[in-house]
Amino acid sequence: MPQNLKSVASMLLIATVTLNLFMATLLAVTLKAGYERKIAEVRTTVTNLALLMDQSVTGAAREAGLVLKKVQSHLEMVLNNGGNLDEVPLTTLITSGIGDIAGVQVTDAQGNVRLGAATAQPGSYADKDYFISHRDNPQTELLVSQLRNDTADGEWVQVFSRRYNHPDGRFAGITMAAVPARHFAGLISGLNLGPKGIALIRDLDKRLVARHPPLDAPPGHTGTVGGSIELTELLASGEESGLFYSDGTADRIPRIDAFRRVSAMPVFVVAGLGEEDYLATWRHDVNRAILLGLLFLLVTAGGAVLLWRQIKAGDQANRRSQMLLRHASDGIHILDERGRLMDASDAFYQMLGYTPDELKDSSPDRWDARHPARETMQLLGNRLQPEQISTFETQFQHKQGHRFPVEMSTVRVDIDGRPLLFSSARDITERKKADEDLRIAARAFESQVGMLITDADLRILRCNQAFTRISGYDADEVIGQRPNLLQSGRHDRQFYADMWQAINRYGAWQGEIWNKRKNGEIYPQLLSIGTVSDEQGQTTHYVASLSDISARKASEEQMRTLAFYDSLTKLPNRRLFLDRLEEALGAAKRRQTYSALLVVDLDDFKVLNDTEGYTAGDRMLEQVATRLVSCAPHKDAVARLGGDEFVVLLENLGKQELEAAQQAEQLGNRILQQLARPYRLGDTEYRGSASIGIALFGAGYPALSVEPLKRAELAMSQAKSAGNNTLSFFDPRMQAEIRARSEIDAGLRIALEQQQLLLHYQPQVDDQGQLLGAEALVRWAHPEQGLISPARFIPVAEDNGLILPLGQWVLESACRQLARWAEAPATAQLTISVNISARQLGQANFVDQVLEILQRTGAPAQQLKLELTESALVHEIENIIDKMNNLKAHGVGFSLDDFGTGYSSLAYLKRLPLDQLKIDQSFVRDIAFDSNSADIAQTIILLAERMKISVLAEGVETELQRSALRERGCYHYQGYLFGRPMPIEELERELL
């Protein structure tokens, strides 16, 4: 074997080994990363499973605790009322699902069972640790025991217990619920743990409470003490939760486990996933990686063998070619120093049509029609150096007389001191024709249409000047790049997938596409793509022709604008607006919301056209369009219907009809203000106005698209009839409601300024009818309408912000009355309750305002009671509690009004410094007939007793209602039975 082939063989071997080592390393790193990722995923999964088990067990414990709490509360209420424990219907109290599986019992103070089924050990519980703990520690609430089997039937249970007391606080006994371990087994039976997974619940002594799946062996029996070494070490460390790997479990299955202590019970939970389960996919990947590595080894080794064979074959072919050169297809011929033909190949003779004998000793001028014999001899002289190849074109003349182009390659060699001329002649007739075709194709390529040629891999090979002009890219900037550098981003992947599917199936595609120029401009193109294939049908090139159709698109857009937009104002015309109205009607019906149409018609526009001319009228219409767009939520909401009539579309105004009408009216008033501003019409200034008709549509209205427009135009006609510069609703009832609300809004400001407000007081009495105080209620003494109920003006004041000065006036007036009462012994102990709104309470200086009013009026803070509604406590509860505590420190009292009808959070209620709960009149009204109302009132009364605050029922109108309240423990009342809200003089005259 030659030396160079040995070197090539060594290099092939080294390259093959290196590639396989790299592949093995890559597979190992990938498998390691997959293993670590899988372990991390399993750790997260078992942690979540343990957390889920913790939540399930905690929920069961809380459920048992709530049952015992309910039993405790009822027992204490029975004892408080002097009842007998033996008469307590224990089964009716246990409505929770835990009562179906737990044995609930009640003992007396000596530990003897008084109520409940005998599911636990018979006899006295006086020696039980939980009984002793409850008896000796009054503050102990819910206790949960370790797992035990001292019940009558020997079943393993965990005992939940609570203490209950006599009315004087003495120990009366305990309530117990023995929850069997099988209940906890049911909680974890639904977990998805896989074939080898496990879920355990053990008490803190490591006794088995529950296991899933069950194990039919001693370690799997309830009450068995067990646990792996890793788990034991975790418990000993005092950790609340943790992860560990164990392979020494009872079933000898390696697992990754998560451990959590349960805060609500003396147990811990363990969730584990079997290694065989979670590593199954990874081990499958290992097998595939080994198979891939072996396959790669076979491929690389086989490739190296094939390449080696090709190298050897190439070497042999090279040696053979040296022998075959003289038999080449080109016309090879040799001339001596005199320019005579010495020898030639068969192809040379065939090219000229002569036999070897006919050309023997002939000179080149016999066949060369361009170079005479003397030029040939000069080539043998000093002009041609030895071993220097000269290539040129000439023409040969065939024996038949026709000429044809050839390409000559000539070299001078000296053999044995004799100069010889070796020449090779190639017929280039076909190449000349191909060159001519190429010149013609190149001329066609440089047309006015952009041309682009790529290879089969979509690498750009050529582009013409038209492409450069259209795209802005020079040829050297795109050659070698892919055509996707022209993409605009306006088409999704599916568009290009469909395009290439058509190209691959049919060999061509044509269509419009958006592309991007070099300067970033997006423009439309007409693009045609075709394929070029070889003899085997394989695609070798792609040819694309493209045209810039921006001008054509602009013309189409202009035509669309003329069809759908007003040429003067550039606003949508009636045709486009009706299409959008149809869409808005459908959307409003789907969302069940209200929308509105505002038809705007200019007042006296014909007079302007007649006096100033149509040019001035057009200028005004343009300015009107601009002002309407500035008022509307977006430009497309405004349209010109024709002449001086415009329309504004307002969508999605909410689900309340009145609210939608108010928003439409607000926009209409803003439009009237804008259109009433002066207009510059050339050198003159003009003032105009408009009339607006408003119609709602959507929820509750017909779905016909023409109806809203007809109604709005009718309303506009009504507005014109009422006078210029006004608006009108199609619905007279709604118009009246909005007008009435507007009158309240405007009149309330005047009422505050002109002192038209006054206070009425409704008495609050005890069970004996003695006056305890009064609630201050504001009234509006309108000079024309008389007394106006607060139900009409308080919501308006809440919306427009006047509730703040109004509330301050009410508080100050009530404090002045308190100060007057404080001067007389008969009235010094009376209280006045003042309602405080959420907006008042939300003021940063609310506490300072109240204290300043108390100081200025001299009113006793202890007799002032501020009434809050539950809705006022929804936001910034911590800030509200701070304000209440601050005022409470100065003696101000607090009452929670309408309790039970709004946002009731017992967590916050117990932190509020309340003095009184008021039972809402909705519960009082039906208390004598409706059991639900009676139960709610009873609950509020008991809650107030527990919180050691007073309770007052409002809305008491009959003796039957008062009797029902008295029977349930409520002794303070307010309502028409004792007096309606009245002026202070009448109150003092009748009740003092």
131-187 pLDDT, tens digit each: 999 999 988 888 998 888 877 777 888 899 999 999 888 999 999 888 898 888 888
Compute the residue count for the chain.
Answer: 992
Instruction: Work out the percent of the chain whose per-residue pLDDT is above 70.
Output: 87
pLDDT given for residue 743 in this prediction: 79
One-letter identity of residue 6: K
pLDDT given for residue 732 in this prediction: 56
Inter-residue contact 113 to 90 (CB < 8 Å)? no
Look up residue 565 and give its DSSP letter: B
Continuous segment of H or E residues that includes residue 331? strand 331-335
Q: Sorting pLDDT into bands at 50, 70 and 90, what band is 764?
A: very high
Look up residue 239 and give its DSSP letter: -
Look up residue 164 and give its DSSP letter: E
Continuous segment of H or E residues that includes residue 11? helix 3-80
Q: How far apart are CA 243 and CA 221, in angstroms?
A: 24
pLDDT given for residue 561 in this prediction: 53
* Window from 115-124, 252-261, 657-666, 787-796 with minimum mean pLDDT: 115-124
Inter-residue contact 278 to 38 (CB < 8 Å)? yes
Q: Sorting pLDDT into bands at 50, 70 and 90, what band is 702?
A: low
Q: How far apart are CA 894 and CA 872, in angstroms?
A: 13
Quickly list DSSP for 170-205.
Answer: -EEEEEEEEEEHHHHHHHHTT----TT-EEEEEETT
- CB environment 521-536: b (16+ within 10 A), e (fewer): eeebbebebebeeeee
Tokens of 406: 């050839």
| Interacting residues of 355 by C-beta distance below 8 A, sequence separation 6+ | 349
pLDDT given for residue 599 in this prediction: 92
User: Please, which residues bridge with residue 973 across strands?
Assistant: 765, 953
Q: How far apart are CA 799 and CA 839, in angstroms?
A: 10
Q: What is the distance, to the nearest Å, from the Cα of residue 308 to the centroid of all Cα atoms in its chain?
A: 60
Three-class secondary structure of residue 110 per DSSP = coil
Q: Sorting pLDDT into bands at 50, 70 and 90, what band is 120?
A: very low
pLDDT given for residue 886 in this prediction: 94
pLDDT at 557 over 80: no
Phi-psi region of 227 (alpha: psi -120 to 50; beta: other; left: phi over 0): left
Mean pLDDT of 895-912: 71
Closest by alpha carbon to 456, among 511, 534, 519?
534
Closest by alpha carbon to 242, among 205, 218, 271, 199?
271
Q: HEC string of 481-546?
A: CCHHHHECCCCCHHHHHHHHHHHHHHCEEEEEEEEECCCCCEEEEEEEEEEEECCCCCEEEEEEEE
Three-class secondary structure of residue 450 per DSSP = strand
Domain borders along the chain are 58-178, 185-278, 330-432, 446-554, 572-730, 747-991
CA distances to 206, 235, 244, 246 from 229, in Å:
12, 10, 10, 8
pLDDT given for residue 90 in this prediction: 66
Alpha helix positions (H), 780-875? 790-800, 803-822, 838-841, 846-857
One-letter identity of residue 989: R
Domain 58-178's class?
Answer: alpha beta
pLDDT at 788 over 80: yes
Tokens of 892: 């101000």
Q: What is the distance, to the nearest Å, from the Cα of residue 954 to the centroid of all Cα atoms in its chain?
A: 47
Q: What is the pLDDT of residues 467-517, one digit of tens each?
A: 888 888 888 888 888 888 888 788 888 888 888 888 888 888 888 888 888
Q: How far apart are CA 359 and CA 365, in angstroms?
A: 11
Q: What is the pLDDT of residues 518-551, one digit of tens each?
A: 888 888 888 888 888 877 778 888 888 888 777 6
pLDDT at 934 over 70: yes
CA atoms within 13 A on the CB side of 114: 18
Inter-residue contact 679 to 552 (CB < 8 Å)? no
Q: Which residue has the tokens 């093959």?
A: 16
pTM of the model: 0.37
Inter-residue contact 797 to 757 (CB < 8 Å)? no
Q: How far apart are CA 249 and CA 200, in angstroms?
A: 12
pLDDT at 901 over 90: no
pLDDT at 366 over 90: no
Q: How far apart are CA 852 and CA 837, in angstroms?
A: 18
User: Please, which residues bridge with residue 161 across strands?
Assistant: 143, 176
pLDDT given for residue 321 in this prediction: 44
Q: What is the pLDDT of residues 410-449, one digit of tens each?
A: 877 777 667 777 777 887 777 777 766 566 555 556 566 7
User: Please, which residues bridge with residue 805 across strands?
Assistant: none
Q: How far apart are CA 635 and CA 86, in angstroms?
A: 79
- 330-432: in CATH 3.30.450.20: yes
Q: Is 268 exposed, middle or buried (0-12, 13-18, 19+ CB in 10 A)?
A: buried
- CB environment 373-407: b (16+ within 10 A), e (fewer): beebbebbeeebeeeeeeeeebebbeeeeeeeebb
Inter-residue contact 762 to 974 (CB < 8 Å)? yes
Continuous segment of H or E residues that includes residue 554? helix 550-564
Continuous segment of H or E residues that includes residue 950? strand 950-954
Q: Which residue has the tokens 């694309």?
A: 544
Inter-residue contact 27 to 287 (CB < 8 Å)? no
Q: How far apart are CA 719 and CA 725, in angstroms?
A: 8
Q: What is the distance, to the nearest Å, from the Cα of residue 562 to the centroid of all Cα atoms in its chain?
A: 41
pLDDT given for residue 472 in this prediction: 85
**Separation of first and last alpha carbons in the chain:** 135
Mean pLDDT of 701-711: 71
CA distances to 384, 407, 410 from 391, in Å:
12, 7, 6
pLDDT given for residue 859 in this prediction: 94
Tokens of 606: 């014909």
Mean pLDDT across the chain:
83
The set of long-range contacts for 905-911, using a CB threshold of 8 Å and a minimum separation of 24, is 905/873, 908/873, 908/877, 908/881, 909/947, 910/947, 911/881
Mean pLDDT of 385-395: 72
Q: How far apart are CA 577 and CA 705, in angstroms?
A: 11
pLDDT given for residue 100 in this prediction: 64
pLDDT at 980 over 90: yes
Relative to beta strand 831-835, strand 864-869 is parallel
Mean pLDDT of 556-579: 73
Mean pLDDT of 616-625: 87
Tokens of 818: 């308190």
| Interacting residues of 946 by C-beta distance below 8 A, sequence separation 6+ | none
Q: In the CATH scheme, what is the homologous superfamily, with its name and number, of domain 572-730?
A: Reverse transcriptase/Diguanylate cyclase domain (3.30.70.270)
Q: How far apart are CA 606 and CA 481, in angstroms?
A: 65
Domain 747-991's class?
Answer: alpha beta
pLDDT given for residue 818 in this prediction: 94
Q: What is the pLDDT of residues 253-281, one digit of tens each?
A: 888 899 999 988 999 999 998 888 888 88
Look up residue 844 and give its DSSP letter: T
pLDDT given for residue 325 in this prediction: 46
Longest distance between any two alpha carbons in the chain, whole Å: 160
pLDDT at 703 over 80: no
Mean pLDDT of 677-688: 86
Q: How far apart are CA 243 and CA 272, in angstroms?
A: 9
Closest by alpha carbon to 775, among 787, 790, 785, 788?
790
CATH of the domain spanning 185-278, picked from 1.10.3720.10, 3.20.80.10, 3.30.450.20, 3.40.50.2000: 3.30.450.20
Same CATH fold assignment for domains 185-278 and 330-432: yes
Q: Can you name the CATH fold of 446-554?
A: Beta-Lactamase (3.30.450)
Q: How far apart are CA 927 and CA 953, in angstroms?
A: 11
Torsion 954-958-963-968 (CA) sign: negative
Q: What is the pLDDT of residues 53-71, one digit of tens each?
A: 888 888 888 888 888 888 8
Q: Which of 732-736, 885-889, 896-900 has the highest mean pLDDT?
A: 885-889
